[in-house]
Structure 1
Amino acid sequence: MFARFLLSAAVLGLGTGAALAEQVTITLLGVGDVYNFEEEDGRGGFARLNAVARAERAANPNTLYLFDGDMLSPSLMSGFDKGQNTIDLTNIVPFDLAVPGNHEFDFGPENFFEKMKASKYPWAAINITNADGSAIEGLGGVMMKEVAGLKVALIPVAQDTSPQVSSTGDLKFLPTVKTAIAAAEQAIEDGADLVVGVVQTDMVNDRALLASHAFDVILSGDDHSYATAYDGVTAYVETSVDGQFLNPVDLKIDISEKDGKRVIKWTPEFRFIDTADVQPDPETQAMVDKLAAGLDETLGVEIGTTETALDSRRNVVRGEESTMGNLIADAMRAQTGADIALMNGGGIRADRTYDAGAKLTRRDILSELPFGNVTVVTEIPGSQVLGALENAVSQVEKGAGRFAQVSGLTFAYDAAAEPGKRVSEIMVGDVPLDADKLYTVAVNDYILGGGDGYAALGGGRIVTEGVTGALVANDVMAYIEKMGNVAPKVEGRIRKLGQ
């Protein structure tokens, strides 16, 4: 950090005695959280993203195109190909560097390793190792690139909470912020002229990275939002979602010499691109059209009708009883014969509503359940069911994906109470939950393995193992096809006390 301060002091001390030698522009184009191969409402998608990347490189050869996490999943297509479509589409206009997001591990680490090998660009993350701390083959670290005669250090950092929200196996994740700052400071020691953080992490960590002033630029994904900032030391971009809004940053750099030493001074210029105004890249669009045609044939099949309105909006499935949540949980329980079913709201993804009378298709269900999770039945005592429900509402005020949609039971909770002491009035059918009684509980394999904080589900007798269970999406489709018409209602399964 001391070396970083000396550089800043030298920049600020640039005086009239310095002879201006050169002016260059380096463009940084960051993108993250790109899941869907197609546009949405005429905006985003890989064809428009690739068009922008091509145009930026054509306009300025000193352009770095950087990916800050999350594309292999979740999406409708990834339920079939485990994210290969995103690799094929990004290989058309390769990144200079890609950082794995937590969703790169939704289908397990082996799938990510396969997709990494299929990529025509390098993947890197300085804070992911094998369980024994050794480096992962093919996954790089800090990348020092020479651009316009300058040494640009790219610091690739993944989200350290990935093991809690994805299927990372036994991979080890070091602390995001601490590891990133240490690497940035080391890059300065190693002679970097510019330090760029390419990070997949939430805004809380982003603020900590910004406050460190260890970086010149931070490009961050994960939050699905668009933001820019500059505090006079560090420029920052939160890179939107699905390539809908892009923000190339042009670093206007003066390179001069003073007292025999090179002095670098730069200012950022943020440019806003609404991809609704971008003509799709023809080569990419041809691949997109082929993918879409294949999906339409398979997924356009109608499987039933909903007699009531369905709601899978993110704020609903992560904070209250939802008709879509009830439908999914009911299907899991009906297809397995379990006493209870729990579905984490974060696994319900389409973020939309359906009118009463809507015809439901395979596409609808796979859009809601894109992760490829398997329905598993475990037998656990009521005390663990209580623990699972406490976990479900432990972060409800944050809109966390662990919030549970349920079937076969009802409960109440007090969000104002201390986490772990919020749940009460649990009824299984018409009978109060018995802490010592064994119940069969249908869940998805992700939360059974402790995902989203569901450690309470572990240790039970597995009635249906993952290798023999059906996909959750298949269970729901089969249930709707069997019923013909479904009519889920919000009926008081989950009650928030004080309302």
Structure 2
Amino acid sequence: MRRILSMVLAAALALSMLSTAAFAQTGETTTIKVFHTNDSHSRAKEVVDSKTGELTNIGFARFKTFIDSQEADGKLILDAGDTFHGMPFATIENGNSIAKILKAVGYDAISPGNHDFNYGYERLDVLSYRAGVKPLAANVTIGGKNAFDKYLIKNIDGVKVGVFGLATPETAYKTNPKNVAGLDFGDKESLIATAQQMVDELQERDCDVIIALCHLGVDPTSDIKSTDIANAVEGIDLIIDGHSHTELDNYKVGDTYIASTGNYLENVGMVTIKVKDGEVLSVEPKLYSAKELKNLPEDSKVKAIVDRIDENQKSILDVVIGKTPITLDGERETNRGGHTNLGRLITSAMLEETGADIALTNGGGIRATIEKGDITKGDVINVLPFGNYIVTKQVKGQDIIDALNFGMDFGAGGFPHFAGMTVEAKKVETTAEDGTTKTKGQVLSILVDGKPIDPNATYTLATNDFMASGGDGYTMLGNYPIENEFSALDEALIRYLSKVGDEGIKAIDAEERLILTDVAKNPALGSGTAATAPSTPSVPDDSDKNNPSTGRWAA
């Protein structure tokens, strides 16, 4: 009898404890903090400006300290994609280095960005598993079945938080199509329907807070944006967004807040959500810049992982990927003042990677020489250290002409290196109003695949993501939408060097793609035109006709 009574009392006590745990927050306010990042492109380490000494990139180790410094009843750590790929720190290990860091920071979930697929769909699955994160993309299917988890539910002090994911349909062409073969990302209509379905399912599972983790962005050229989801779907409290590299702080569409940190860990985000009796009382997003967090120390455990990865990668960087029978010129002066064999190799690799008509890159992005003999992975990364990747655009011939006229500024970082065309230009010495002189190049003729360029025709241009966004002043290229995105420049160059071998390198060394004539005097330039003059006229008129047989403009 005594034993039975004891069992009854124990059961009653257990039931009492269960009830207390389940309803501990009744009548009380629960504070949840959501920490988020997006579009870091594997900028995992802090960056300090060498000139100013200011912290410009926060790094994951300092982000971890920031997370731990905040008090809350519960926390979520989310990433809105484009995280596993970008810098050599990630690419030389196929993303594994980033997976280790995400695990150490304690991320809960990620919405796969288009660049997260750069190693292939199967590799992304492996990296997510190693990182201990759930890749959430409810709209992505393979063979009619979900390719990733649709959502996760986290119980925080009695409050159920549901997080579902959406990945941009642009992934189908903003990574190499081979990386996503067989995957269906849907379209605008289906994404909106999927998002509403996810909200309905999470509400049926009694979620008090609903968060959409999206890699969609707010770029006006995108067919489906996070703002479209916010406008069309009812029941979303918060969207954590990425893709367009936009800083969104305290931005609201209808009843839904949208938060996004920009890019490269220049900012991190924290959203404070307060809930009482199953009702969301407030949602308060805030971005924190590198400047605001500069006095926080780096988390010692995460920093130790980063340092260990750096040390271990030294052996990877020593791996020989090819050899060269000649020195490949990556010197600053030569690459900013004319063409080099290394510039020709890089742009040839870009054509090989993309199948474009023309490739164009800036001399300022070529940072080191490769000496005769064995070529290591580290040698290539020293040449191309910025983690730039290749994109293609459909560009009018006239804008290619204008880009060359603008960029051919001898001594400037934007000096154009190219493949797929032969350009004849004359050097022109210009004088600005303040009396300073500079030497520019003025295009006389352009042959594309042996034929004169047509200013009105459209050409597939391969360039790097920096120039594609108007970097180095190439604004005439920034106006066109990106057609496709490809590998990092260093990855493409490594593959190309391995393919062409000694004879291919010698052949490219012997090529002459830019033919220059002597310096001619040009009238003084006014302050309003000095940046772009001299310029080939826009579509040639009757007084300055394009010679169809030579591609040469009358001088």
Tell me if the contact between 1:332 and 1:442 (Cα under 8 Å) persists in the aligned partners: no
**Residue pairs, 1:91-102, within 5 angstroms:** 91-102=103-114
1:326 Cα deviation after fit? 9.9
* 2:65 aligned partner, one-letter code: A
Among candidates 155, 158, 170, match of residue 167 of structure 2: 158
**Residue pairs, 1:24-173, within 5 angstroms:** 24-34=30-40, 35-41=42-48, 42=55, 43-56=57-70, 59-130=71-142, 132-136=143-147, 139-166=148-175, 167-173=179-185
Percent of residue pairs bearing the same amino acid type: 17
Among candidates 357, 381, 385, match of residue 367 of structure 1: 385
C-alpha change, 1:172 and 1:104, in structure 2 (3 Å) is same
* 1:55 aligned partner, one-letter code: S
C-alpha change, 1:207 and 1:483, in structure 2 (3 Å) is same
d(CA) in 2 for partners of 1:337 and 1:240?
Answer: 32
Among candidates 236, 239, 243, match of residue 218 of structure 1: 239
Tell me if the contact between 1:329 and 1:342 (Cα under 8 Å) persists in the aligned partners: no
Among candidates 417, 420, 425, match of residue 408 of structure 1: 420
d(CA) in 2 for partners of 1:128 and 1:476?
Answer: 38
**Residue pairs, 1:285-296, within 5 angstroms:** 285-295=303-313
- Say yes or no: does 1:471 pair with 2:495: yes
Tell me if the contact between 2:343 and 2:363 (Cα under 8 Å) persists in the aligned partners: no
1:247 Cα deviation after fit? 2.0
1:482 Cα deviation after fit? 10
- Say yes or no: does 1:245 pair with 2:261: no
d(CA) in 2 for partners of 1:194 and 1:429?
Answer: 58
Tell me if the contact between 1:331 and 1:476 (Cα under 8 Å) persists in the aligned partners: no
d(CA) in 2 for partners of 1:163 and 1:228?
Answer: 29
* 2:154 aligned partner, one-letter code: K
Name 2:202's counterpart in structure 1.
187
Q: How many residues align?
A: 395
C-alpha change, 1:281 and 1:210, in structure 2 (3 Å) is same
With normalisation by structure 1, the TM-score equals 0.64
Name 2:250's counterpart in structure 1.
229
Tell me if the contact between 2:30 and 2:159 (Cα under 8 Å) persists in the aligned partners: no
Tell me if the contact between 2:421 and 2:449 (Cα under 8 Å) persists in the aligned partners: yes
d(CA) in 2 for partners of 1:79 and 1:197?
Answer: 28
* 1:27 aligned partner, one-letter code: K
Q: Which has the larger radius of gyration?
A: 2
Among candidates 202, 210, 215, match of residue 217 of structure 2: 202
d(CA) in 2 for partners of 1:180 and 1:325?
Answer: 51
Name 2:288's counterpart in structure 1.
272
1:488 Cα deviation after fit? 9.4
d(CA) in 1 for partners of 2:511 and 2:332?
Answer: 6
d(CA) in 1 for partners of 2:299 and 2:511?
Answer: 42
1:81 Cα deviation after fit? 1.1
- Cα RMSD (Å): 5.0
1:335 Cα deviation after fit? 12
d(CA) in 2 for partners of 1:181 and 1:284?
Answer: 38
1:182 Cα deviation after fit? 3.6
d(CA) in 1 for partners of 2:449 and 2:316?
Answer: 38
Tell me if the contact between 2:217 and 2:246 (Cα under 8 Å) persists in the aligned partners: no
* 2:117 aligned partner, one-letter code: F
What SS does structure 1 have at the residue aligned with 2:385? helix
d(CA) in 1 for partners of 2:167 and 2:349?
Answer: 39
Tell me if the contact between 1:252 and 1:267 (Cα under 8 Å) persists in the aligned partners: yes
d(CA) in 1 for partners of 2:153 and 2:352?
Answer: 56
d(CA) in 1 for partners of 2:340 and 2:482?
Answer: 17
What SS does structure 2 have at the residue aligned with 1:197? strand
Tell me if the contact between 1:253 and 1:267 (Cα under 8 Å) persists in the aligned partners: no
1:68 Cα deviation after fit? 1.1
Tell me if the contact between 1:326 and 1:407 (Cα under 8 Å) persists in the aligned partners: no
Name 1:463's counterpart in structure 2.
none
What SS does structure 2 have at the residue aligned with 1:161? helix
Q: Which has the higher contact order (CA 8 A, sep 6+)?
A: 1
Tell me if the contact between 2:35 and 2:269 (Cα under 8 Å) persists in the aligned partners: yes
1:186 Cα deviation after fit? 4.1
C-alpha change, 1:272 and 1:119, in structure 2 (3 Å) is closer
C-alpha change, 1:469 and 1:405, in structure 2 (3 Å) is closer
Gaps of 5+ in 1: 1-19, 256-261, 312-321, 374-387, 398-403, 412-424, 435-440, 445-450, 456-467
